[in-house]
Structure formats: structure tokens, C-alpha cells
Amino acid sequence: MPERRAPFEWITLALILACYTVWGVAVFWLSSISLWLAIPVAGASIALHSSLTHEAIHGHPFRRPWLNAAVMFPALTLCVPYVRFRDSHLAHHNDARLTDPYDDPESNYLDPAVWDRLAPPLRWVLALNNTLAGRLIIGPMVGQVAWMIADVRAMRAGDRAVLAGWLWHLPALALALALVLSAPMPLWAYLAAAYIGLAILKIRTFLEHQAHERARARTVIIEDRGPLAFLFLNNNLHVVHHMHPRVPWYRLPQLYRANPDRYLGRNGGYRYRSYGEVFRRYFFQAKDPVPHPLWRRP
């Protein structure tokens, strides 16, 4: 929807500053008082930083993309390059290809023919990863390994954009590591915090898209208004975000509340009342199979 925009968004910029402040307090001060409190606080701020990076990719808080990239420059997650996240996520916003095992970079489904060729131990790992408990415990590692394998293959095939994305990541990683190594928090503790941050994000991505014949019915609404919704910057209202990708995070609830029937009609009623419901239903149970249920085996 076309709209006039201010030069920058105070709300998003203020939250970015608050996020860095909380991260700094956890890493530089709280870690010397209670390491076991500092680790989850740092993990939550890392998850929020990733959500803010998602906002930056979509044009917030500044109009200029380079300013958004600059303000989110430190790689607090350590392992997610900004440029690669940007390129893969914007490709993911091609709604016609959502959940496609090949054309959607964020799909959690595999081609059934690929699944059939996997060794049983790897199938077991991926099946565990398809429960919410598994996604929290091994999901960050499984996702990172799969992503890096795909990117290494792309670089070997001559994809210079992928190579450039990882090269641009090196100074952002160096800055984050330099800050951590100068802090009282041990490196192992920060690695644990980064893993916790990535695990929190796996809660959001666990079922935000489903296999469906109609592309518009593939994107979820989770009507949560608690701390997870805040950490995800209302991206739990995911179909609203996909329909209005340029709208800032703080306006998504207003859009949804103004006309919920529009969005639930759009996605065929793919909705959950809260993340509590998601945990109750899928903590130990897979919602979907790993092989894409609508793809035909040859």
C-alpha cells in the first residue's frame, strides 16, 4: 500500500538502541554478576537483533538500505551474514513459491525424491527437527549446516553473490567477536547465548508456512501478544507481513485487528490463538512431514 514515509522511524530506531543496550549490559556487566542470568538475557537480545535485522531488510528504520545495513552491522548471531539473509529472505517473499523445496530459501520441506535417498540416521535427525522440541534443541545447528552446505555448493558453481555475502560477513563477525572477547563474559557463554537466540527464532519459523495447493493459504496467523510476539516484532501475524512487507512491525497488529476476516479469509483460516497452543500441540509431535506432502514422487 502506497504511503508517505518520514525520513526515519523513531520507534524502530529507539528499539534498536535499546536492543544494543540490553545486549551490552548482559555481556559487559551482568555476566560478571550472574553468568546464568546474563546468558538468557543476551540470547533474548540476540533474537531481537535478528528480528530488527529483518525489519532493516524491509526498509526500516531508514529509507536508505545502506543506513539500515550499517545500523545492524555487528553480527551478534555470529553465523548469519546480513547480505545472505537479505537476499534469501527477499527471495522467500515470492509468495507463489512458498514452501517449494528448491525455490523457497526458507522452506523446511524436502523433495520426496531427496528424502527417499537419505540415510536412516539423517532421516531421524530431520524428523526430530520437525517437532518443536527438536527445532529448539538441534534446529539452529541443522539449519546452519544445511544453509552453509547449499551456499558452498553455490560458490563452487560460481555464484559470486553468495561469495560476496560471506566476505561482507567477515568484518561484521570480527566486530562482534572483538566486543565479546573484550567483555567479562566467556566465549563459551556467548556461544550458548547466540544458540539460545537462534533457538528462540526457530519458534517463529516452526510453522509460519504450510504446504497448501493455494499459495495464499500457506502463511500463518498466530494471535499472540506476549513476549514472543514482541521478540518477533509481530511477525507472528505472518500473513499480514507478507501482504504488507513494507509496513513497520508496530503497525501490523493494528492492521490485523481492523479487519481479521480479511487476513483469515486470505490464508484459509490458518491460525493459532497463541504460542502456548503451538507448544501444547507440537512440542513432541511433528505438524508436517519432512518430505513435501504435495510433491509427487517420480
- Model confidence pLDDT, tens digit, residues 196-245: 999 999 999 999 999 999 999 999 999 999 999 999 999 999 999 999 99
Q: For the beta carbon of residue 8, count every other beta carbon within 10 angstroms.
A: 16
Query: Which of 11, 137, 27, 105 lies closest to 62, judged by CA?
Result: 11
- Model confidence pLDDT, tens digit, residues 121-138: 999 999 999 999 999 999
d(CA 248, CA 260): 18
- Going by pLDDT thresholds of 50, 70 and 90, the confidence category of residue 297 is low
The whole-number pLDDT of residue 295 equals: 86
End-to-end C-alpha distance for the chain, whole angstroms: 42
The whole-number pLDDT of residue 273 equals: 97
Burial of 28 (0-12, 13-18, 19+ CB in 10 A): middle
Nine-digit cell string for 262 = 480479511
- Model confidence pLDDT, tens digit, residues 41-61: 999 999 999 999 999 999 999
- Model confidence pLDDT, tens digit, residues 134-169: 999 999 999 999 999 999 999 999 999 999 999 999
- Residue 291 DSSP symbol: B
Q: For the beta carbon of residue 116, count every other beta carbon within 10 angstroms.
A: 12
- Strand 271-272 relative to strand 221-222: parallel, antiparallel, unpaired? parallel
Vertex 87: Cα angle to 220 and 249 (nearest 5): 45
